[in-house]
Structure 1
Amino acid sequence: MTVISMSDADFKNILATTASICTILQFLTGTLTCQKFVQNKSTGDISSFPFVSGCISTSLWLRYGFLIQDGSLILVNTVGATLFFAYVVTFYIYSIKKTMVIRQFSICLLFLLIVLVYIHNSKHPENARSHLGLICSGVTIVFFAAPFATLMHVIRVKNTDSLPYHLIFATFIVSLQWMMYGFILNDRFIQIPNLLGCILSGIQLSLFMIYPKNSKIYSNV
């Protein structure tokens, strides 16, 4: 009987591949939203901020990937930045509040340029890496925490219909994979935000067990 052992390098490569695929698939869910914009010829009341912030976030992580010379981060965030920029353009085309879209994108772009210029001119690569890692982590944590505004409504009405189960589940899986990848790289800037992402998405998933789809019916009996 032959025992096949997996080396740390093999596990890292497999994890990097699966995490990259899952993340890109998660990014691609934005195409469904944009498809609705095209069909309705309008963005309705949806905010452009998730698309704008996604574009800036992936751009920051892309620069971080180049700093630590990690191919997986570079690939994922190149695809992510390209997709989110396309989403922003699509949103702008069909938005009735084009001035708001331009304002949000300009502010985020200015922030991105300031960070990139600072990193480029930094004379201490290790400090630049730490500062950019902190910024990327902070931005990611804010995005993970954003859905908690909806949770108060869910708890109040005891119904999870307003929560996107599949997106939350995908976020949990993606966060778990990148957290493990961060531990392999011994990179706390990848570990910490994705650990929090696992916790926050896990809390949201628990609400589907506490308040199942028909819980509102039983709560009124």
Structure 2
Amino acid sequence: MVSLITIFGLLGNITTGLVYLAPAKTFWYIMQRRSTEEFDCLPYVVKLLNGYMWVYYGIVKPNSILVATINGFGAVLELVYVTIFLIFAPPRTRAITATLFGVLDVVFPIGAVLVTQIFCNREMQIDVSGFLSLLFSVATYGSPLSIMKTVVSTKSVEYMPFLLSFILFINGLTWTVYAVLTNDWFIGIPNGSGFVLGTTQLVLYAIYWKPKQSKTTSDHVDDGWQNESLMLNN
């Protein structure tokens, strides 16, 4: 019989996959325009690092293959996003992006893996990789908080699409339940935070949504904001 842990892990893989796919429209827009315009590379560089660390955590911690697989998928997508950004960014932005990519997505993860593999036992490897994954997941919360501030100040949900808020809510809830079932608070803390953020965004949507609103809604707004929870934010 399939366990609840497996069920919620698989559901979390589905919702996290949707979170990772959400920026695809932004990068299709960038490719069509052949320019990154005012988009920021940092959310995608950090998400790539976050994906790397969750993959490592899922590998070193027993019975956490579902954590590793979905974040491996996410890391590949984020690598594609960063590559597209590098191709179409103007020279100065490209140089900044390449530097951030080299430091955060190459040097740091390789160093973290080597140091923990050489100097740490398995339990310490789990703790260090889990803490780093939690830390980088929380670091991605700046964008959703900024969006929520914009909603309150403008009294408009134009830049906070309902579907993305709902996915954030479901993703956070699913992985929080998974964390409770597995007693894994490295997963529970960032996804519990994602669940709270998703809930708050849905409440704001209910308060500020207006019928027949303008359809200019964030088709081209940076989707990095919803990379908020773990598997996500995982």
TM range (shorter): 0.7 to 0.9
> Partners in 1 of 2:187 and 2:14 — Cα distance?
17
> Partners in 2 of 1:86 and 1:43 — Cα distance?
14
- Aligned partners of 1:122 and 1:128 also within 8 Å: no
- Aligned partners of 2:18 and 2:167 also within 8 Å: no
> Partners in 1 of 2:142 and 2:35 — Cα distance?
28
- 2:229 alignment counterpart: none
Match of 2:9 among 16, 20, 25: 16
> Partners in 2 of 1:118 and 1:163 — Cα distance?
40
> Partners in 2 of 1:156 and 1:18 — Cα distance?
35
Task: Identify unmatched segments of 5+ residues in structure 1.
Answer: 1-6, 217-221
- Read off the aligned partner of 2:167 and give its amino acid letter: A
The number of residue pairs the alignment matches comes to 209
> Partners in 1 of 2:7 and 2:123 — Cα distance?
28
- Read off the aligned partner of 1:160 and give its amino acid letter: V
1:93 and 2:87 are equivalent in the alignment: yes
- Aligned partners of 1:145 and 1:200 also within 8 Å: no
Task: Identify unmatched segments of 5+ residues in structure 2.
Answer: 214-234
- 2:73 alignment counterpart: 79
1:138 and 2:135 are equivalent in the alignment: yes
Rg larger in structure:
1
> Partners in 2 of 1:137 and 1:26 — Cα distance?
17
- Aligned partners of 1:159 and 1:215 also within 8 Å: no
> Partners in 1 of 2:50 and 2:120 — Cα distance?
24
- 1:181 alignment counterpart: 178
> Partners in 1 of 2:129 and 2:52 — Cα distance?
11
1:127 and 2:120 are equivalent in the alignment: no
- 1:195 alignment counterpart: 192
Quote the offset at 1:89 in angstroms: 0.5
Match of 1:28 among 17, 21, 27: 21
Answer 1 or 2: higher relative contact order, Cα 8 Å, separation at least 6: 2
- 2:166 alignment counterpart: 169
- Read off the aligned partner of 1:208 and give its amino acid letter: Y
> Partners in 2 of 1:51 and 1:13 — Cα distance?
29
1:57 and 2:50 are equivalent in the alignment: yes
Q: Of Structure 1 and Structure 2, which has the larger fraction of its residues in helix?
A: 1
- Read off the aligned partner of 1:98 and give its amino acid letter: R
> Partners in 2 of 1:28 and 1:152 — Cα distance?
24
- 1:219 alignment counterpart: none
- Aligned partners of 1:61 and 1:77 also within 8 Å: yes
- 1:118 alignment counterpart: 115
- Aligned partners of 1:20 and 1:76 also within 8 Å: yes
Quote the offset at 1:151 in angstroms: 2.3
- 1:3 alignment counterpart: none
Quote the offset at 1:122 in angstroms: 2.6
Q: Deviations over 1:12-67 (max 9, x none)?
A: 22222121122112212222221111111111100011211111100000000001
Quote the offset at 1:215 in angstroms: 11
- Aligned partners of 1:16 and 1:72 also within 8 Å: yes
**Aligned-pair identity (%):** 25
1:103 and 2:99 are equivalent in the alignment: yes
TM-score, length basis structure 2: 0.83
Query: Any idea what SS the aligned residue of 2:3 has?
Result: helix
- Read off the aligned partner of 1:111 and give its amino acid letter: F
- Read off the aligned partner of 1:16 and give its amino acid letter: G
